[in-house]
Amino acid sequence: GPAFPTQGIWKSLGVESYDRAVIRDIMVDTKPDPKTPNRWTLAVSAHIETGSQTPLDAIIDITLDGKPLVAKHSQRLTADPLGAVKADFVITIPEDIPITAWYPNGVADNTQQLYSLQVRLSFPDSQEVSAQTKRIGFRTIRLVQSPTPGDGLTFYFEVNGHPVFAKGSNWIPANVLQEDLTEAYVRDLLVSARSANMNMLRVWGGGVYESDVFYGLADELGIMIWQDMMYACAAYPCARGQHEYVAWVYESDVFYGLADELGIMIWQDMMYACAPYPVNPEFLLSVDVEISQQIRRLQHHPSIAIWAGNNEIEAVIAAFVSDERHKQDYRELFVKHMQTLVTDGDTSRPFVTSSPSNGLRDKLENYTAKNPGDLRYGDVHSYNYMSPQWDWTVYPRGKFISEYGQLSYPSLDTWLTALPDSDMTYPTSAGVRHRNRLGFFNGTKVIEGLSGNYFEMPAPGGVDRFADLIYLSQITQAMAIKTQTELYRRDREVDPQTGFGGTMGALYWQLNDIWPAPTWASI
């Protein structure tokens, strides 16, 4: 969709003051007692900020649904040079607090029980109090990567010991202007996903870190979240193989004045070209702060199943990058920095450096695999715009298909919110073709070509013939996604010769869209 980044202050802003200290974040880890399944251990880490370099005597209380877990615990807080201090607790949940495990939608008991965890910080010599409350769920999650026939590895999630086939979609920002997004709209989209029996959504790395509302609803609805970090589709090599971040110059006033006089329109690029993400110290520090903040903000949500470092950057490197310096930069950012921060900061769920990737196998190729979409390992992104879409044999048999899909036109009502009746024609008008964002492919020809494999195309005409084209494109899309999804749902066995198959996840691209245009989206 269009790129309209919001400018200025668009979230709530306030001034905060405190004398002693304030709780900034709460992180948790839940584990069942191996001897008593209904008993759980809860690890709590309270991240505290203080402006004092003098140790502070503090009192910490922790409750679960209002029932005490830790009462009047005295602790001396000694901050690091940045004023940060962490208070850690490992608590066995008492027998008088019964725990119901959290499960994804449709799995096992299908329970999404949430509990209110409060950490309260006070001081013996002050009336000052700081408290934070989080809704948490009790569950364990594991990414199982075990050897398979054909020199492969499984790739599936296990929740509370139950293997889970991840079925769902990919989520993009629900509004290009995030300040206009409402809780009701986000709820409607997520409830729709649950109603369609989905149990996982992948938050795509080309969008935004979603709101607390989004993750809270995912917790409630039992929708696991594959969480990309917000890095996507970059690391293009320079044409001359140079390691640069700025290309040429903005032209002079004379240049633009002459263009005005001579009637020469200018396509004005900004002076950034052919570069990967930088790895200068200032940028890496910004990344470190960003990742640390997001991990601490989101870690307590039981719905988050996995962290992924980026969307498709390892795949871009494999396809286009030969300069070893670019690969070293990639590893500096996504392995040395991001992977270290995530795995040190959150031991309760897995991390992969990229999506797609070969999972554990990636380490053998120093995280820049020649083929990061190897069907024997990890997750795969699959798009096919050339073959007949209703033939299951044209689709790859991977372990976990985290992107796949097909284009169609949206409804006529949707089109008419953006274009006049005069653009509703077949063959398609310039206005319709302009809204097709398929990159290297001609999206109009893709839609018409694939539909033409199965249907006679409409006769030339106006709005009625365009409506016919819309209908045919949507049937083609629906049958294509149905065919591919059914392959993945039944393809549980691994071919011992190739190592292909053993699929345990299918997330089609994409659940939602943000503007009226040809789209992969179902909503």
**Active site amino acids:** 312, 403
Q: Are 338 and 287 in contact (CB under 8 A)?
A: yes
In whole angstroms, give the CA distance from residue 499 to residue 100: 38
Q: Enter the tokens of residue 508.
A: 């089609």
Three-state SS letters, 149-206: CCCEECCEEEECCEEECEEEEEECCCCCCHHHCCHHHHHHHHHHHHHCCCCEEEECCC
Kind plus residue range of the DSSP H or E element containing 503: none
Angle between helices 443-452 and 463-490 (to 10 degrees): 80
In the chain, the N- to C-terminal Cα span, in Å, equals 15
Q: What distance in Å separates the CA atoms of residue 314 and residue 73, rounded to the nearest whole number? A: 47
Strand 67-77: give its sheet, edge to edge.
Answer: 67-77, 56-64, 115-122, 129-136
Helix, strand, or coil (residue 465): helix
3-state SS string for 320-382: HCCCHHHHHHHHHHHHHHHHHHHHHHCCCCCEECCECECHHHHHHHCCCCCCCCCCCCCEEEE
Q: Which residues contact 46 (CB under 8 A, 6 or more apart)?
A: 23, 25, 26, 60, 86, 87, 88, 89, 119, 121, 132
Task: Please give the C-alpha separations between residue 229 and each of 288, 373, 377, in angstroms, as whole numbers.
Answer: 12, 19, 21
What's the CA gap between 144 and 136, in Å, rounded?
24
